Amino acid sequence: MLLPPHPSPATSLASPVAPAVDITRRFVRVTAERGAFVEFDFAIGWPELSVELVLPRAAFEEFCARNAVTFLEPKPDEPTPQDDEET
């Protein structure tokens, strides 16, 4: 019995079109400040797709300067960084 040939990936499905992205744009959303450390989300291109990072304040400030970041507002359901600060 002969099986039909597999369709090539290029012709089997229409490839989804990804939205245009500018990978030179960098985003930071501060999520908490704990003592000498800053917790934040960092994104490249898409602000919705980020990684969580923690750095000492001086390193955070240098990181933001080197990456020429755009600071994002806290998410509506998250407390402001000052709300998380330990007293």
Global confidence as pTM: 0.69
pLDDT of 40? 99
Tokens of 47: 């602000």
54-66 per-position pLDDT tens digit = 999 999 999 999 9
Q: Encode pLDDT of 11-49 as tens digits.
A: 556 667 777 889 999 999 999 999 999 999 999 999 999
Q: What is the set of domains in the chain, with CATH numbers?
A: 22-75 (3.30.420)
